[in-house]
Amino acid sequence: MAQLVINGRDAASTGVSLFFLDYGYNVEPLDIEALDCEATAVSAARSPKDRANNIIIKMQEATEMAQSELTTAQQQQEEYSNHSYLASPRYAVKSKHAKFTVLKAIRSHAYQLDMLLGVYNIFYVSLLRPAASDPFPSQVNNDYQPPLELVNGEAEYTVEEILKEREK
């Protein structure tokens, strides 16, 4: 009985029940006897060939209706999905992002940046923003970044000043 009730509910995407798509009619669980009486009265009036043709036509109409409803639902879901989709930009190797340079493209959506040692240096493309390379005439570029000094193949950094310290 529970399975009949579940399969008799209209699906959101097709607008009809699974039972209707399988058998061509809906069954109310409480009106089974009334349905049997109506079916026997109608079946006595028509030939088996006419009844079979009617069932086939009804099933074809139900299938066409379900396919059109599924197509409509699929289009709505596609529009909703594509509404907020933004194509991911491609970044060239050695392009600047904030203070860091792109070393290599890991995948189509992940890039490796030249970060300090100990800092994870692979970032998803949505976290990257290109550095401004064309400041306004009134802007002063005070973010001077000298080239890295390599000592024994390792990058060496010079501390200019300690801004804050934490005491234990």
For the segment 30-46, the average pLDDT, to the nearest whole number, is: 56
Q: Do residue 65 and residue 112 come from a single domain?
A: no
147 neighbors 94 (Cβ within 8 angstroms) = no
Q: How many domains does the chain have?
A: 2
Q: Do residue 106 and residue 37 come from a single domain?
A: no
Q: Do residue 108 and residue 157 come from a single domain?
A: yes
Nearest CA to 111 out of 99, 97, 46, 119 is that of 97
Domain boundary among 83, 101, 120: 83
Q: Do residue 150 and residue 97 come from a single domain?
A: yes
Domain extent at residue 99: 88-133+144-168
Q: Say if 138 falls within a structural domain.
A: no
For residue range 91-103, what is the model confidence (pLDDT) as tens digits? 888 888 777 889 9
Main-chain phi, psi angles of 32, to 5 degrees: -65, -40
- Whole-prediction pTM value? 0.40
Q: What percent of the chain has pLDDT over 70?
A: 80
For residue range 39-57, what is the model confidence (pLDDT) as tens digits? 555 555 578 888 888 888 8
